[in-house]
Structure 1
Amino acid sequence: MNDTPASERLHIGFFGRCNSGKSSLINALTGQSVAVVSDIAGTTTDPVSKAMELPGLGACLLTDTPGFDDTGALGPQRIERTLRAADRTQIAVLLFGEGDCAAELDWLGQFRAREIPVIAVLAQCDRLTDPARAARAVEERTALPPLCVSAATGQGIEELRRALAAVHRDEPREITAGVAEQGDTVLLVMPQDAQAPKGRLILPQVQTIRELLDKECTTICCTPQGMSAALAALARPPKLIVTDSQAFEAVYRQKPAASRLTSFSVLFARYKGDIDAFTDGAAAIGRLTPSSRVLIAEACTHAPRTEDIGRVKLPAMLRKKIGAELRVDVISGADFPDDLTPYDLVIHCGACMFNRRHVLNRIARARAQSVPITNYGVAIAALIGILDRIEY
């Protein structure tokens, strides 16, 4: 379980005011000293995540967040980071106390707007003067019956575990659903450039290979230079060819007529996001002009290389088609503008480092601002004119 990628774990976020007991609750839930606990307000200054395996939930990523009432000099920045943590949260544990809960209600609205399930917790209930009254007040304001929990005494911890398991609905999703069936022969074309460090494969390749093996597919791997030899070694054409998007054009030229074609990035566009939104967004490429502005969003935070697809190759392809004056901005990691309206198109990476919730939130933000959004692989297929001839 420790080797499960963070993007494939269930993301559970703990949200509340400073000193509301978030860190203590995480420690009690896991039975470990995962989060730093202190009576000093603002001890948790940034969202801190810990990979764990919890009974009934499996591989999880528990995120301890700064208090959303932080008023220190860095309070606004800390609250902004808490909001970013909410973007990738799949279940939110929202901590309440006695008295006014206006701030908690504001955050409950944030979670509901993102369609994030919320578990209300009356934390530190061993310290409350009237827990039953406080619980009734929370339920009246939120329509959520809170769990009365104490990290100090252990009260309610098992109930919280059961509540998390009840809320969690593990939707089985497949990377190759609908394009590769049990026993198919699949050819994977994988360039080994500077973005594939020596001795390793990139995550989308690893995950796709594993899924194909689970389907008992005959899986053949090659580089673009070795594609002809790989095809010649087969008695009949492969049912499916999956390529790195940057090799789309060369692979398409060599593809047997009987073989279907897609890319790792396109597969992840379906697996991690909304393929219809991405294909609709690709239509905006045809409307770009030299005065347009495009945002390229990478999930990875790796140091740029000369062969980088997002920072070098894709901008070059866009400028070749649209014009050298086209403005292309590149962001990475958790950075994503609140205001997308200056852009005529957003092009997102395959998001192998993000969970689906995170990608769908970005798509929703773009849609809300009427800004088209697409994906690396979909955009490249559109740029070379084969989008209607690939599998997605």
Structure 2
Amino acid sequence: MSLNNTPHSNRLHIALFGRRNSGKSSLVNALTGQEVALVSDIPGTTTDPVLKAMEIHGIGPCLFIDTPGYDDEGELGEMRVTRTWKAIEKADIALLLCHPDMVEELHWIQLLKEKNIPVILLLNKADILEEPEATASEIEKQTGIRPLIVSAKSRVGMKDIRQAIMRHLPEDFDAQSITGHLVSAGDLVLLVMPQDIQAPKGRLILPQVQTLRELLDKKCLVMSCTTDQLEATLQALSRSPKLIITDSQVFKTVYELKPAESMLTSFSVLFAAYKGDIEYYTASTAAIGKLTENSHVLIAEACTHAPLSEDIGRVKLPRLLRKRAGEKLQIDIVSGNDFPTDLKKYDLIIQCGACMFNRKYVLSRIEQAKRQQIPMTNYGVAIAWLNGIPIA
């Protein structure tokens, strides 16, 4: 997969925070070398987060998020600040543009630290500041962090920012693997991929593409088939696959046909570990057995596609849950970035594989559920439990 086609969810998310007219948009343009963000002297020009994908030498694919000013005012201003707050949940690293008085900034630094997000302070507009070094020293006294003195207009300090980003990389950055230790070079892996209406003609869905690419990088021997060709494929192989990866919706069918010695998992289960907390997801399946007709379940989809016939999240999974708990089981469905702040009314949350989200954002949702003591699992893990299928 080329750099330009690297999904946003697989990029390092670097968010810029600051007051209106602090130079965030100009800084994005300076860092990317492109005029991607609208720049104006009028405060509040940036009304929605602006995303720019690029590559930083030594790091790889990144996604810059230019946010509205957190000091915005009025009814629309509050909505913009809410968008800025949501950007925090996705940020792997924060670039915070400082104002000399630091009144607003101290609060936001604390918020970012509470989210365990590395913060890089920037003292922008060095070309017009009277005493930038003295101001930087004062900010360091208040925060314990020495800000970088930069100027988006004259491009001063851009190299320093890139180097600071490299020093603040999350510990697990680039350490995550979709298939983990399940397979290694030379292992035979069979991908069972039903090509239904959720996979547009001529294309594979993102989790399939990413998993296939990783297996090829690991030098595995990869075989692919659709569900109806599984038996014929197994007969054609000279040995049983070490691992079979399938779509969660056909878990039961594949489980009944697979060789006893082959491990079985699904794309959704793999992404549960890759993007989320597989232990919490697995432990939370106990809540499925406690569901009754009076229970309330939240299903969270990352995608915002129009509902399709036999959609797994909106049709198949609810059908399985109601078959077990009762037809009156109440199920709410949210999609995209929509996710309730108050989760206390739910007895269980079921998150999709989240291939469209970065790991930081998925973990923030899981942490939110943990704080409110709400069990949270994943499509694939839940479907495997409902069918009594052990997974690799």
The aligned length equals: 388
The 3-state SS of whatever aligns with 1:328 is strand
TM-score where L is the length of structure 1: 0.97
In structure 2, what residue type is equivalent to 1:209? L
1:314 aligns with 2:335: no
Residue 290 of structure 2: aligned partner: 287
In structure 1, what residue type is equivalent to 2:67? T
1:241 aligns with 2:241: no
Distance 1:92 1:318 in 2: 40
Q: 1:88 aligns with which of 83, 87, 90?
A: 90
Instruction: Quote the sequence identity (%).
Output: 58
Please give the residue correspondences for 1:145-164 in structure 2 after superposition, counting only pairs within 5 Å: 145-164=146-165
The 3-state SS of whatever aligns with 2:15 is strand
Distance 1:124 1:342 in 2: 48
Q: How far is the alpha carbon of 1:235 from its aligned partner?
A: 1.6
Could you list the per-position Cα deviations for residues 117-139 of structure 1 after superposition, in whole angstroms to 9, with x for gaps in the alignment? 11011111222232223212221
Could you list the per-position Cα deviations for residues 4-37 of structure 1 after superposition, in whole angstroms to 9, with x for gaps in the alignment? 1111111110000000110111111122212111
In structure 1, what residue type is equivalent to 2:314? R
Distance 1:251 1:163 in 2: 48
The unaligned stretches of length 5 or more in structure 2 are: none
1:138 aligns with 2:139: yes
1:277 aligns with 2:258: no
Distance 1:234 1:118 in 2: 52
Distance 1:339 1:44 in 2: 29
Residue 70 of structure 2: aligned partner: 68
Residue 323 of structure 1: aligned partner: 326
Residue 351 of structure 1: aligned partner: 354
Distance 2:337 2:100 in 1: 34
The 3-state SS of whatever aligns with 1:124 is coil
Distance 2:386 2:65 in 1: 39
Distance 1:48 1:171 in 2: 24
Could you list the per-position Cα deviations for residues 327-355 of structure 1 after superposition, in whole angstroms to 9, with x for gaps in the alignment? 00000101111111111111000011111
In structure 1, what residue type is equivalent to 2:191? L
1:39 aligns with 2:41: yes
Residue 191 of structure 1: aligned partner: 194
Could you list the per-position Cα deviations for residues 285-320 of structure 1 after superposition, in whole angstroms to 9, with x for gaps in the alignment? 111111111000011111110121011110111001
Q: How far is the alpha carbon of 1:98 from its aligned partner?
A: 1.4
Q: 2:8 aligns with which of 6, 13, 23?
A: 6
Distance 2:138 2:295 in 1: 52
Residue 16 of structure 1: aligned partner: 18
In structure 2, what residue type is equivalent to 1:217? C
Q: 1:178 aligns with which of 177, 181, 204?
A: 181
Q: How far is the alpha carbon of 1:365 from its aligned partner?
A: 0.6
The unaligned stretches of length 5 or more in structure 1 are: none
Could you list the per-position Cα deviations for residues 172-208 of structure 1 after superposition, in whole angstroms to 9, with x for gaps in the alignment? 2211112112111111111111100000000110111
Q: How far is the alpha carbon of 1:283 from its aligned partner?
A: 1.2
Q: How far is the alpha carbon of 1:54 from its aligned partner?
A: 2.1
Distance 1:157 1:390 in 2: 47
Distance 2:27 2:199 in 1: 40
Q: How far is the alpha carbon of 1:53 from its aligned partner?
A: 1.5
Distance 1:192 1:153 in 2: 52
More displaced stretch, 128-137 vs 40-49: 128-137
In structure 2, what residue type is equivalent to 1:298? E
Distance 1:222 1:16 in 2: 50
1:384 aligns with 2:372: no
In structure 2, what residue type is equivalent to 1:138? I
Q: How far is the alpha carbon of 1:97 from its aligned partner?
A: 1.5
Query: Given that residues 36 and 43 in structure 1 are in contact (C-alpha distance below 8 angstroms), is that contact kept between their aligned partners in structure 2?
Result: yes
Q: 1:360 aligns with which of 345, 348, 363?
A: 363
Query: Given that residues 195 and 307 in structure 1 are in contact (C-alpha distance below 8 angstroms), is that contact kept between their aligned partners in structure 2?
Result: no
Distance 1:109 1:372 in 2: 28
- Give me the CA root mean square deviation: 1.1
TM-score where L is the length of structure 2: 0.97
The 3-state SS of whatever aligns with 1:289 is coil
In structure 2, what residue type is equivalent to 1:166? R
Distance 1:142 1:364 in 2: 26
1:254 aligns with 2:257: yes
Distance 1:137 1:304 in 2: 54
More displaced stretch, 291-300 vs 130-139: 130-139
In structure 1, what residue type is equivalent to 2:372? Q
Distance 1:247 1:72 in 2: 50
Residue 297 of structure 1: aligned partner: 300
Residue 123 of structure 1: aligned partner: 124
Distance 1:168 1:62 in 2: 14
Q: How far is the alpha carbon of 1:215 from its aligned partner?
A: 1.6
Residue 111 of structure 2: aligned partner: 110
Query: Given that residues 99 and 105 in structure 2 are in contact (C-alpha distance below 8 angstroms), is that contact kept between their aligned partners in structure 1?
Result: no
More displaced stretch, 125-134 vs 328-337: 125-134
Query: Given that residues 46 and 68 in structure 2 are in contact (C-alpha distance below 8 angstroms), is that contact kept between their aligned partners in structure 1?
Result: yes
Distance 1:194 1:109 in 2: 46
Distance 1:107 1:220 in 2: 50
